[in-house]
Amino acid sequence: MVKLVVLIAVLVLGGLWLMGRAVILVRRRRILTGLGCGLLALIFLIVPAGIGLVAGNMVTYTRLTHEQRALKVEFSQTGAHQFDVVLTYPQGDVQRVVLRGDEWQVDARIVKWKPLATIIGFDAAYRLERIGGRYAEIADERTAAHTVYPLSEPTRLDVWSLVHHVSSWLPWVDALYGSAVYVPMADGAAFAVMVTQSGLIVRPLDPAAQHAVGGWH
């Protein structure tokens, strides 16, 4: 990116110098030479403008598709439909829970920014709500034991609540909504819960997690 900025600056300065030279040549009645110099100056100025537009589009795409990790989730199976789970937060905090079921689900509240705010660097604000186990079979879901745990702690900075309370004063807030995602649990599997500009997604981190998701029916 630095090299690109330097290239654009060199081209622009060169274009301005050539434009000034063209004006001098025209004043000296060297019309054809001046016009040629002016044409070259325009090329020097148009090229960096095109490069800037392409680079701007790339930055826009990067910001709009940006992901931030909200949680790492690791599983160890201890019995039928039962898993020990280690939750690791970006700050390094660790939480351990036991989940029952075949799949796990995490819920969060999301603040989505308008595109302009996203482009200039505002990431989606979020608050993780809870994690729980769920069963693949509806019959089990109705009758088997359920487990659910809160993920928001009073000691952790609650960005979502902060933005929620001042959202009426922030014209660049686009939407406030709930988001949930669920995938299978598997022994030895590790997943990353990612917050995107459009909600939560889960990404497998190891072969066990990839196999669990790949063989999901």
Total domains in the chain come to 2
Based on the domain organization, do 13 and 75 belong to the same domain?
Answer: no
Based on the domain organization, do 9 and 91 belong to the same domain?
Answer: no
From 162, 59, 67, select the one nearest 120 (Cα to Cα): 59
Based on the domain organization, do 127 and 149 belong to the same domain?
Answer: yes
pLDDT at 166 over 70: no
Contact call for residues 41 and 13 (beta carbons, < 8 A): no
Picking from 63, 79, 107, the residue at the C-terminal end of a domain is: 63
Based on the domain organization, do 114 and 190 belong to the same domain?
Answer: yes
The residue whose two tokens read 């598709």 is 65
Contact call for residues 191 and 212 (beta carbons, < 8 A): no
Based on the domain organization, do 198 and 113 belong to the same domain?
Answer: yes
The residue whose two tokens read 């609540």 is 161
pLDDT at 78 over 80: yes
- Kindly give the pairing relationship between strand 94-100 and strand 190-196: unpaired
Picking from 13, 48, 63, the residue at the C-terminal end of a domain is: 63
| 111-129 per-residue burial string, b: 16 or more CB within 10 A, e: under 16 | bbbeeebbbeebbbbbbbb
pLDDT at 194 over 50: yes
- Contacts of residue 129, Cβ cutoff 8 Å, sequence gap at least 6: 107, 108, 109, 150, 151, 152, 178
Lowest-pLDDT range, 68-77, 87-96, 108-117, 165-174? 165-174
Based on the domain organization, do 57 and 72 belong to the same domain?
Answer: no
The CA distance from 141 to 50, in Å, is 57
Based on the domain organization, do 42 and 118 belong to the same domain?
Answer: no
Picking from 10, 39, 63, the residue at the C-terminal end of a domain is: 63
- Contacts of residue 127, Cβ cutoff 8 Å, sequence gap at least 6: 108, 109, 152, 158, 159, 160, 161
Based on the domain organization, do 71 and 54 belong to the same domain?
Answer: no
Based on the domain organization, do 52 and 146 belong to the same domain?
Answer: no
Based on the domain organization, do 45 and 121 belong to the same domain?
Answer: no
Residue-level pLDDT at 115: 67
Based on the domain organization, do 48 and 100 belong to the same domain?
Answer: no
pTM across the whole model: 0.63
pLDDT digits (tens, 9 = 90+) for 81-136: 999 999 999 888 899 999 999 999 999 888 777 766 666 666 777 888 899 999 99
The pLDDT of 176-199, averaged and rounded, is: 89
Based on the domain organization, do 79 and 26 belong to the same domain?
Answer: no
pLDDT digits (tens, 9 = 90+) for 1-59: 445 556 666 766 776 777 777 778 777 777 777 777 778 878 777 776 655 554 444 44
Residue 13: domain span: 2-63
